[in-house]
Structure 1
Amino acid sequence: MAVPFKASYPLFLCLILFCGVNCTEFEVGGHGGWVVPKTKDDAQMFNQWASQNRFKIDDNLLFKYEKDSVMEVTEEEYEKCVSPHPLFFSNNGETVFKFDRAGLFYFISGVRGHCDRGQKMIIKVLDIEASPSPQYANGTAPKPHSKSGVAELTPMRIMTESTVFVMSTFFLQLYV
């Protein structure tokens, strides 16, 4: 006997809730975006930003930039700041990169000279079970509009949580 469609709503709702809140999107560098550091003192700004966050499998990085590119490269290519055959390349101005495994990920700008000036970053993705909220290395969530370079509460992150709430409310009303 076929199960009525209404009976499958709770299962569908659980699937939406599970998928909707188990990943986080981090805007690289906060509101500053994926840019060339202005001074030599800022040369480690992306690695400092990365070290203040906790990344897990299925999280996304959002690279925002103008007239630039982002490449995932090997460790050796990261050190040399050059890659003739990157593992990943994008130059569309707003690149989303999804972590599909635990381990180290190396990113550099594809524009000549930008990596040498500090536009590069290493991300460590932890092999942990997905959790319903973002995890930060210092145990606290960053403050909105922070100038520290820590990942901020982006519109995408807020939208994801709001969407899950609205969709769950909608499906609960259909079910009842």
Structure 2
Amino acid sequence: MYGFNSLSPSQRQHLTTRAFVRDVENYLAGTAVAVQPDGDRTESLIETAFQLSLTRYRDGWLRWGSSGMPMTGEQIAAHAEAAINILRAGGWNPSCHASRSIRDALIHAETADEHQGCGMDTRMVVGDILGLLIRALTGAPTAYYETWDAHPARTVEEVFTALAAAAVFARRYGDKSHPAQATA
């Protein structure tokens, strides 16, 4: 059997030490990273992501969650920002054993939200927005934020910038208030 347990004690210690150092570096970097994206490049990515959304998503995808419940751009943005705060407090580590990835932070934001604005609907839309932003950045025809998050070259600064850009996107293109619900 291969894996961590098949390594010698010195190899295990080296891997554990490397993982610990990465955790500390990511945590420290996360506490110093500004979370408000700015600059022409970020604006261009947000606009390109929006243009990509026009060919991929149904009308109203930022207005109605898959549950059929309405949501606002502010709620979607708040979910992305809550994930930033969770990752800033706990440290970002996309390892499947660490439970400190973007996905984990988005899920945790649902359970920690006292105002019930963060839910599965907003989490899924934040993921969709992240996918659009990643496509805009890389030029790839498809992108999934969890895979992007776990890529070995990913940095905590990129993660926070992507989440902050997702919040800007949601506020800019999402509904300002709940749409009128149909009445029977």
Same fold (TM over 0.5): no
Give the structure-2-normalised TM-score. Answer: 0.30
Structure with the largest fraction of strand: 1
Structure with the largest fraction of helix: 2
Give the structure-1-normalised TM-score. Answer: 0.31
